[in-house]
């Protein structure tokens, strides 16, 4: 493995840095969303009975204590019960927009890394080919076979390394973006169900995954 990295040349250094950072972001986001799901399920188990008993203040306090993006949106809705429907919807939308950055933390960086890793791999391909053609130009028809092989190896290794980092980064980035959108959509749907139950006495069950 070390020999392969060495064959990639100096461009392997920024590629490896991209790989380390991307790995950290992916692991951090996986644990974050797993923990978020557990927190939301625990929150709903607490506040659904409170809402049924019309303890809206207590439910709001539980939401603020949980401090997840979902709980903050629900808490904002509970604090806005005296508002008109239009004003409440605006308050929920504003809070949703405010919470999005928490769900999308590091995702911009992950998207940038996926693009940069690909470009660095391409750059390694170009520089490796330049060296290979330089060897051919300096040494006649075949040049020095060892140096030629090293230049071609640099081109191939950097290309492969860039793609190995870029492909999982793109997949993870898209997955986390969709996950963030789904969480906030479910939060808004939960608020809608709650408002129907609170304001119109409908028996629709309030839940969130």
Tell me which of 78 and 134 has the higher pLDDT. Answer: 78
In this prediction, residue 89 carries a pLDDT of 87
In this prediction, residue 136 carries a pLDDT of 57
In this prediction, residue 192 carries a pLDDT of 86
The model's confidence at residue 133, banded by pLDDT at 50, 70 and 90, is low
How large is the average pLDDT for residues 33-41? 93
- pTM check: above 0.85: no
Spatial contact of 108 and 148, defined as CB atoms under 8 Å apart: no
- Asked if the model's pLDDT at residue 142 lies above 90, the reply is no
- Asked if the model's pLDDT at residue 165 lies above 90, the reply is yes
The model's confidence at residue 144, banded by pLDDT at 50, 70 and 90, is low
- The whole-angstrom separation of Cα 1 and Cα 172 is 25
In this prediction, residue 68 carries a pLDDT of 92
- The whole-angstrom separation of Cα 7 and Cα 2 is 9
Long-range contacts formed by 50-57: CB under 8 A, 24+ apart: 51/194, 51/197, 51/198, 51/206, 56/81, 56/198
- pLDDT tens per residue across span 80-121: 888 888 888 899 899 999 999 999 999 999 999 999 999 998
């Amino acid at each position: 493995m070390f020999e392969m990295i060495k064959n990639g040349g100096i461009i392997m250094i920024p590629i490896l840095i991209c790989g380390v950072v991307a790995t950290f972001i992916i692991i951090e986001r996986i644990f974050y969303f797993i923990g978020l799901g557990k927190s939301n399920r625990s929150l709903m188990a607490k506040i659904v009975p409170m809402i049924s008993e019309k303890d809206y203040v207590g439910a709001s306090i539980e939401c603020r204590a949980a401090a997840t993006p979902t709980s903050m949106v629900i808490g904002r809705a509970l604090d806005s019960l005296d508002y008109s429907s239009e004003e409440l919807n605006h308050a929920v939308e504003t809070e949703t927009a405010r919470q999005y950055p928490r769900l999308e933390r590091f995702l911009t960086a992950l998207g940038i890394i996926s693009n940069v890793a690909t470009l660095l791999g391409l750059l390694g391909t170009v520089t490796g080919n330049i060296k290979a053609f330089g060897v051919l130009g300096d040494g006649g028809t075949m040049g020095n076979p060892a140096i030629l092989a090293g230049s071609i190896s640099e081109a191939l290794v950097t290309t492969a390394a860039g793609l190995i980092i870029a492909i999982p980064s793109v997949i993870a980035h898209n997955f986390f973006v969709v996950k963030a959108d789904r969480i906030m959509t479910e939060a808004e749907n939960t608020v809608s169900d709650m408002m129907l139950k609170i304001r119109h006495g409908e028996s629709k069950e309030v839940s969130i995954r």
